[in-house]
Amino acid sequence: MALVECVPNFSEGRNRNVIKAITDEIESVEGATLLDVDPGKATNRTVVTFAGTPEAVVKAAFQAIKKAKELIDMSGHMGEHPRMGATDVCPLVPISGITIEECVELAHKLAKRVGEELKIPVYFYEYAATSPQRKSLADIRKGEYEGLKDKLKDPNWVPDYGPASFDKKAGATVIGVREFLIAYNVNLNTRDRKLAQKIALNIRESGRAKRDEEGRILRDENGTIIKTKGNFKCVRAVGWYIDEYNMAQVSINLTNYKVTPLYRVFDECCKEAAKLGLRVTGSEVVGLIPKDALLETGRHYLLKQGKTAGVPEKELIRVAVQTLGLSEIKPFIPDEKIIEYRVEKQRSLLQMTARDFIDEVSMDSPAPGGGSVSALSGALGGALLSMVCSLTVGKKGYENVWKAVKEMGENVQKLKDELIRLVDDDTEAFNGIITAIKLPKKTEEDKKKRDEAVEEATKRAILVPLRVMREGKKILELLKEAASICNVNVISDIAVGALEAETAVRGAGFNVDINIPNVRDEKFKKDVVNEREEIEKEAVKMRKEIEGVARGRMMR
């Protein structure tokens, strides 16, 4: 599922009724989950965090900006934080299943509505910036609200969307796209802030000031301090002492964890601490963290141990939390701290026990049905292969295939997780058809909209099982590769995994077949039928080949 975070800053931090009216707009949008509301009296500003599907986030952001325009009057606003509008800044942040470029498109979609429908001047910043001088939020906001009237008259500062006219009540809004910022603190076994600061100066991108032999700061001919760069890009850090914890910490902002991963910063802090006679005792995440940041951390430490990283997501997160010591100060609860888990559906099929799921299938409702069961079969086939990989890596006599099997284990975990998601997606797709069929059809316009909705919903109900077929085929390809090199003692599990994967492919194929006659788009039909037939043909062939290899190795 594509997931986007939005962190709008509203120029009101004192009137709780106004703040609640704005956040109520966000919560009213299906598919958007309110994560945090942080008002500040001194700044007279509230930072709101919510996340959801791309469409839901754009809708919720627009409604919140609209409500802020209605309720906030910038002409009387006072606060310590720089600002230029009722909704001062509204960044979109890609979390999973979506790219920066796709988020920029969403930013344009949102800004267009804000500019045209609400008549608010809108500027783009960061990845959405339309020119280099507009990339920095600080540069756009220079002069703040008080200087906005004159700024809008400047040809260099014509808004990206909306009128170049001053709205004294709403001001202007800055919309952009940025990476997720992880607020992360590393704990030290000292109360000395200066020692923590030494570590911070070494790891942060901006580094430290150069000094001469007598300790004086060196400057260039313009009087600018000359600096030695730190160890990592996209890292800000400072050392401080927290009285509540009775310890010093290296307080870190990772502005792009994809450039500098969490584990690299933690490992470097451990090295730097040891040079000073200190020890890192643990760490903490402030606020929320994307799941991927912990998954890659778990993989890193498992591989360092010589193990396969092809283990379930839950285990990768456990390894990351334990290694980083994220529960030293207070328990790290993944369901509360990982952003994807916070926005998961409250009652998905995947949260059921195996018995509950089987019972749900056995009821008189047509969904979940064969499509969801097929996806689950594929996931079970992938799970068996992952188990086989884990039981091959580290096993004496298989040293020459460890590397290949480790990689295989990681790949099949991703396929398994995708099929698990498709268990829910198939049921949702069926429910989408029912919803479309129930649309009104009183007028010709109603009938046209209903027919279009039914067509799109039916296509989705075909594309989901087609995805199950594709993923099932990929698992069979990996099973075929594993059959001849894996630990012979678990070769029967390879055979069972192949049967499960073939069931996923052929079972999902029936779901494609039952829906395809209801589609009017002939090109879509032809393309789907051709792909569906080719995948099933290859799947049946591979399952037979895998079974043959498995039986052959059993006989040795």
Query: 136-173 pLDDT, tens per residue?
Result: 998 999 999 999 999 999 999 999 999 999 999 999 99
Residue 6 CA to residue 91 CA, distance in Å, equals 6
The total of other beta-carbon atoms located within 10 Å of residue 60's CB is 27
Residues 72-113 pLDDT 10s? 999 999 988 889 999 999 999 999 889 999 999 999 999 999
Its sign, for the CA torsion 119, 125, 130, 134, is positive
Cα 398 versus chain centre, distance: 36
CA distances in angstroms from 189 to 204, 239, 275, 384, listed in the order given: 21, 13, 13, 44
Its sign, for the CA torsion 10, 16, 18, 22, is positive
Helix, strand or coil for residue 250?
Answer: strand
Instruction: With both helix axes pointing from N to C terminus, report the angle between 522-554 and 491-515 in degrees, rounded to the nearest 10.
Output: 160
Structure confidence at residue 348 (pLDDT) = 62
Percent of the chain with pLDDT over 90: 81
For CATH 3.30.70.670, the residue range(s) in the chain are 182-342
- For the 182-342 domain, the top CATH level (class) is alpha beta
Name the CATH topology of 3-177.
Formiminotransferase-cyclodeaminase; Chain B, domain 1 (3.30.990)
Among all residues, which ones are annotated catalytic?
81, 426
Residues 163-203 pLDDT 10s? 999 999 999 999 999 999 999 999 999 999 999 999 999 99
Residue 375 CA to residue 357 CA, distance in Å, equals 13
> How much is the pTM?
0.75
Residues 48-66 pLDDT 10s? 999 999 999 999 999 999 9
For CATH 1.20.120.680, the residue range(s) in the chain are 349-554
Structure confidence at residue 283 (pLDDT) = 97
CA distances in angstroms from 538 to 232, 483, 535, listed in the order given: 47, 17, 5
Q: Is it the case that residue 351 has pLDDT exceeding 60?
A: yes
Structure confidence at residue 346 (pLDDT) = 43
Pure H helices in 276-353: 291-304, 313-324, 334-337, 339-342
Residue 195 CA to residue 199 CA, distance in Å, equals 7
CA distances in angstroms from 318 to 266, 312, 314, 546, listed in the order given: 16, 10, 6, 34
- Give the residue-averaged pLDDT of 501-523: 96
Helix, strand or coil for residue 47?
Answer: strand
Residue 312 CA to residue 334 CA, distance in Å, equals 14
Q: Is it the case that residue 212 has pLDDT exceeding 80?
A: no
Q: Where are the extended beta strands (E) located within 160-257?
A: 173-177, 182-188, 208-209, 227-228, 235-242, 247-254
Residue 481: is it exposed, middle or buried by C-beta count within 10 angstroms (0-12/13-18/19+)? Answer: middle
Looking at the domain that runs over 349-554, which CATH code has it been given? 1.20.120.680
| Residue whose tokens read 């141990």 | 305
- What the block records as the tokens of 348 is 């998905």
Residue 463 CA to residue 266 CA, distance in Å, equals 42
Q: For 225, which DSSP code? A: B
The total of other beta-carbon atoms located within 10 Å of residue 467's CB is 18
Beta-sheet pairing, 280-286 with 247-254: unpaired
CB 92 within 8 A of CB 106: yes
Residues 6+ apart with CB under 8 A from 336: 342
- The whole-chain average pLDDT of the chain stands at 93
- pLDDT classification of 350: cutoffs 50, 70, 90: low
Reference 50, options 19, 13, 7; nearest CA is: 7
Instruction: With both helix axes pointing from N to C terminus, report the angle between 313-324 and 291-304 in degrees, rounded to the nearest 10.
Output: 80
Residue 376 CA to residue 504 CA, distance in Å, equals 8
For CATH 3.30.990.10, the residue range(s) in the chain are 3-177
Q: Is it the case that residue 427 has pLDDT exceeding 90?
A: no
